[in-house]
Amino acid sequence: MSVLSRTTAGSRVLLMGNEAIARGALEAGVRFAAGYPGTPASEIIGSLAEVAKERGVYVEWSVNEKVGSEAAAAASLAGLRGLSAMKNAGLSVALDFLLHLSYSGLGNQCGGFVVAVCDDPQGHSSGDETDSRWLAKWADIPLLEPDSPQEAKDMTTWAFQVSEEFKSPCFLRSYTRLSHASGTVTLGELPQPDTKAHFDTSQIISPYLAKAKHADLEVRLDKVRELFESSSFNWYQGPEGPELLIVCSGSASRFSLEAVEQLGLEKSVGILKLGTLWPFPKKLVAQHLAKTDRVLVVEEVDPFIESHVKETAFDSGSVPQTLEIYGKGSGHLPLVGETTPDAILEALSTIFNLASPVSDPSYSEKIQEAEEMLIPRGLTWCAGCPHRASFWVMREATRRDGRDGFLAGDIGCYTLDVFPGGGGNQQTKALHAMGSGMGLASGFGKLGQFGFTQPTIAVCGDSTFYHAAIPALVNAVYSGSNMIMVLLDNNSTAMTGFQPHPGTGFNATGDPAPVVDVEKLCQSLGCKIVVSDPFDIEGSAKKLRLLMKKEDGVRILILRRVCELIRMREEKKHPYKVWVDTEKCRGEKCAFCTRMYKCPGLVWDREVGKAQILEAVCPGCGVCVDICPFGAIHREKTP
Amino acid sequence: MTTICEDPLNLVIAGVGGQGNILLSRLVGRALVKKGYFVSIAETFGAAQRGGAVMSTIRISKRMSLGPLIPEGKVHIILSLEPLETLRTLIKFKSPTVVALTNVQPVPPLGVLAMKDDYPDDDRLQNAIRELSESVLFLNATDMGLKLGAPIVANIIMLGALIASDLLPLTRQDIEDEIREAFASDRAQLNIKALRKGVESMGGSTVTALHS
């Protein structure tokens, strides 16, 4: 039984931040949850899906974050509590709807609607480290930010109440060090909601007329602010009149508490921890600003709280003119990257003029010596991954074509092609957002009239295709763009943990689902489609070259082979036994396989000076046999 | 040990994506929560898992829920599944009093395969690990795992060594209970066997007796 469906209230368990958000939603009686996978957010929907049947919740992996938000909001409009979850980049996709939902409100008989957004400070698994809190402000949506898994659970439950009371969506902002942190959580009760879904047709829920709705929204926000001013998720700890006031949120509050203790500053420093961030609780903050001369603001990513503290100080009559405010603006804390305990310790040491702890010079010397030995560990595709073969196919085809062709990439495991020192050979020359490879290629394919002659290949995964590539594909067809799409179909959303999508034949809760057929869909648009197995390097490269020569609109090559991790799990055997004939291997003069193909199952034996199969790693796909220019690698079918 | 000698006690579990790093932090974390501790863990997921360096930081306190990252100089224990990653962790946290337990079987990074980088030789690497730690334990857990027919259980073997070292307020039984909860019975049996192998490898000596 999943710990999420444990019914004993009061029991203490270890939960990941994302699981805590899911549990908080269950404790609020959530009935409908939808989202699109994305690190670090995926486990919110994933863990709800595991208990969906047991708890009577409907859970879906939607095609994208906008549709997921719309679907979950429908439940809310029909009186049920709904949750939508996404990563930071996904919020940009959902915003068009969410902004207008903020204007329209949730109607007379709504159930609460909570949008959980997980930012990725440091960009551990993202192409950006944007701060989504500005978007809550931009869309006038109430915003909460928890500091720990316990608070993530409690705040999620409360967020549904806030949403319901004010008939507005409510944002819960998480971040990597919460979503992917685990902590001790005391569980609450799990209710058995039995509200019947019904949409009240006596109302029209829309943002029109916008000016009037905007005015309503401002009134609503003032009321939310009143509630937030006295929320117990905001608290103060420290002396009555601190020498320095730290205003903080999120895990930065936990780090601040510890830093103050570590430096022995408990008698001089007070901590005002904020959990309700928008509308900003300015009365509460002003009261505390009035009692100190110096403030340090500590938060994750942008100076969001910091700018509102400055605004509050400016607006409030009771704050001394001499108040000094430190943080990202003053340079005491870094503007980029995640907020670490070390950064807070350093900021406090600077402010209080504390000597840095003296480190043992001989230890520092040893560290320096050791650093010379440290080599990077680049990201790569798994041994036997079909993407490695697919990129080899594209390399072969564009090289032989000779017209300086290039790839416009997309988001998925195949993104790793752009990483320096990574698994691929960096043929992807432009890469941005979900579906953008296709959109960019649609544009590149229209540059012929300006003398552009380079073949452009949009590379897109199967899940990404459903998510955002379809409108771009329709655009390319409609505009008569001269381009190729290579669809890397591994039958999974592999990068984020093998979530199903409309092509897989099953849904979030493991039940059979209709397959939305990519080929038929593309055929219906009039595209030329060729399907090939990426492990047939020669054959696939030939097909791609032919498509590159035929310059007539949108051509599609589907390179289809299931993700190796899924294959291995299902088949539990290696297709081939693979070995290197050391007589034939040309050694260091060549090393084509290890230098260029870079499969982790194929290593360089330094002593012998030849390539070698690493048996513990090689899954026996046998593709390297076709890569070796001298026929030195052999394969034999396993029984 | 029946309690923690420092509060918070800070443990780092290091390795390469795919070595089963997260399983270890879960087993340790769940067992500690049952003993009444506040546990905070930060883990690496997603893109970084694809062959990258992974690290879990685990913070254990009787008093309060802490942020999940560990300040420099404050790591007490490193449990590592790969020796280069042990060195990376030692350099990152600069904690001279740390106890490091490490698997010695290298997993060569991509740059080594592509012949751009050289993996440091065993002696030099182990010497550097020794120099940067107060005490060390080297174990070829991958070899021990191969003997059990599954090199993947190297992670659990290393955990066994950590439990036997008596640095955490946990017993072998505590971890066995967690393994039984986490796995179906055949997988649980294999992992318990691995755990016991790891415990035995310490031969009844705790790490405090291993000072180099």
- What's the pLDDT score for residue A7? 79
pLDDT at B45 over 80: no
Asked if the Cβ–Cβ distance from A367 to B71 is below 8 Å, we say no
Task: In chain B, count H helices and then E strands.
Answer: 8, 6
Amino acid making up residue A457: I
pLDDT digits (tens, 9 = 90+) for A57-100: 999 999 999 999 999 999 999 999 999 999 999 999 999 999 99
| Tokens representing residue A430 in the block | 């432009």
- From chain A residues 43-82, the ones with a CB under 8 A of any chain B CB are none
Q: Looking at the domain that runs over A235-351, which CATH code has it been given?
A: 3.40.50.920
Question: In whole angstroms, what is the distance from residue A246 CA to residue A325 CA?
Answer: 10
Q: Classify residue B7 as exposed, middle or buried by CB count within 10 Å of its CB (0-12, 13-18, 19+).
A: middle
Q: What confidence tens digit (pLDDT) does each residue in A110-119 have? A: 999 999 999 9
Comparing CB atoms, the residue among B45, B88, B131 nearest residue A180 is B45
Residue B204 banded pLDDT, cuts 50, 70, 90: low
- β-partners of residue A613 are A602
Question: Can you name the CATH fold of A3-229?
Answer: Rossmann fold (3.40.50)
- Does ipTM surpass 0.90 in this model? yes
DSSP per residue, A68-85 = HHHHHHHHHHTTS-EEEE
**CA–CA distance, B3 with B22 (Å, rounded to integer):** 24
Residue B29, pLDDT score: 98
Round to whole Å and give the CA distance between B133 and B152: 26
Query: Using CA atoms, how far apart are residues A457 and A559, in angstroms rounded to an integer?
Result: 13
Identify which of B38, B44, B112 has the shortest CB distance to residue A184: B38
Residue for token digits 């060569």? B108
Look at strands B9-16 and B53-61 and give their pairing: antiparallel
Identify the DSSP state of B120.
Answer: P
Give yes or no for A431 touching B (CB within 8 A): no
Q: How far is A183 from chain B (nearest CA, A)?
A: 5
To test the contact with chain B by mutation, choose from A42, A345, A373 the residue with the greatest count of B C-beta atoms within 10 A, namely A373
Answer whether A370 sits within 8 Å of B128, measured CB to CB. yes
Q: What percent of chain A shows pLDDT beyond 90? A: 87
Report how far residue A633's alpha carbon sits from residue A581's, in angstroms, rounded to the nearest whole number.
6
pLDDT tens digits for A414-468? 999 998 777 788 999 999 999 999 999 999 999 999 999 999 999 999 999 999 9
- Pair A412, A463: CB distance under 8 Å: yes
Q: pLDDT-derived band of residue B48, with 50, 70 and 90 as boundaries? A: low
Chain B interface, best mutation among A119, A150, A182, by max B CB count within 10 A = A182
Cβ of residue A600 closer than 8 Å to a chain B Cβ: yes
Measure CB to CB from residue A373 to each of B36, B39, B124 and give the nearest one.
B124
CB neighbour class for B35 (10 Å; exposed up to 12, middle 13-18, buried from 19): middle
CA distance B121 to chain A (A): 9
pLDDT at B35 over 70: yes
* Nearest CB to B87 within list A181, A183, A374: A374
CA B161 – CA B197 distance, rounded (Å): 8
Phi and psi torsions of A271, nearest 5°:
-120, 120
For residue A414, give both structure tokens. 């195949």
Q: Considering only CA atoms, which of A37, A132, A139, A142 is closest in space to residue A86?
A: A37
How many Å apart are CA A321 and CA A301, to the nearest integer?
Answer: 27
User: How far is the alpha carbon of A379 from chain B, nearest alpha carbon, in Å?
Assistant: 5
Residue A358's pLDDT band, with cuts at 50, 70 and 90, is: confident
A373: nearest CA partner in chain B: B120
Tell me the chain A residues in contact with residue B75 when contact means C-beta distances shorter than 8 Å: none
Distance of alpha carbon A126 from alpha carbon A476, whole angstroms: 27
Condensed to tens digits (0 to 9), the pLDDT of residues A532-561 reads: 999 999 999 999 999 999 888 999 999 999
CA-CA distance, B201 to A535, in Å (whole number)?
44
Q: Which residues of B touch A600 (CB under 8 A)?
A: 51, 110, 113
Given CB atoms, is A260 within the 8 Å cutoff of chain B?
no
pLDDT band at B144 (very low <50, low <70, confident <90, very high): very high
Which of A578, A583, A574, A577 has its CA nearest to residue A597? Answer: A578
> At a CB cut-off of 8 Å and minimum separation 6, what does A99 contact?
A138, A139
CA distance A527 to A473: 10
| Cβ–Cβ gap A40/B45 under 8 Å | yes
Helix, strand, coil share (%) of chain B residues, nearest 5: 45, 15, 40
pLDDT tier for residue B46 given thresholds of 50, 70 and 90: low
Residue B105 clears pLDDT 80, i.e. is over it: yes
**From the CA atom positions of chain A, what is the Rg in Å?**
28
Smallest Cβ distance to A177: which of B69, B108, B109? B69
Residue B37, Cα to own-chain centre: how many angstroms?
19
Q: Which CATH superfamily is domain A386-570 in?
A: Thiamin diphosphate (ThDP)-binding fold, Pyr/PP domains (3.40.50.970)
CA distance A336 to A252: 14
Contact A184 B66 (CB under 8 A): no
Q: How far is A6 from chain B (nearest CA, A)?
A: 14
Q: Is A125 on the interface with B (CB under 8 A)?
A: yes
A602 touches chain B (CB under 8 A): yes
Inspect the interface and report whether the beta carbons of A183 and B52 lie closer than 8 Å: no
SS3 content of chain A, % helix, strand, coil (to 5): 40, 20, 40
pLDDT for A93 equals 97
Question: Which chain A residues contact residue B88 at CB under 8 A?
Answer: 374
Residue A520 in this model has a pLDDT that exceeds 60: yes
Calpha distance A438→A444 (Å, rounded): 10
Taking the CA atoms of residue A145, residue A147, residue A153 and residue A155 in that order, the dihedral angle to the nearest 10 degrees is -40
Contact call for residues B13 and B58 (beta carbons, < 8 A):
yes
Distance CA A382, CA B52 (A): 11
Return the sign of the alpha-carbon dihedral for residues A293, A297, A303, A304. negative
- Name the residue among A263, A358, A280 with its Cα closest to residue A314: A280
**A602 contacts in B (CB within 8 Å)?**
113
CB contact under 8 Å between A252 and B38, yes or no, is no
CATH 3.30.70.20 in chain A is located at 573-637
Over residues A276-296, the mean pLDDT reads 97
- Which phi and psi angles does A191 have, rounded to 5°? -80, 170
Among A150, A422, A603, beta carbon nearest to B65: A150
| Spatial separation of the C-alpha atoms in residues A606 and A585, rounded to whole Å | 13
Cβ <8 Å between B44 and A413: no
Judge whether B98 and B77 are in contact, CB under 8 Å: yes
Domain over B9-201 is classified CATH 3.40.920.10: yes
Class at the top of the CATH hierarchy for domain A573-637: alpha beta
Contact (CB<8Å) A375/B117? yes
Question: Which one is predicted more confidently, A82 or A588?
Answer: A82
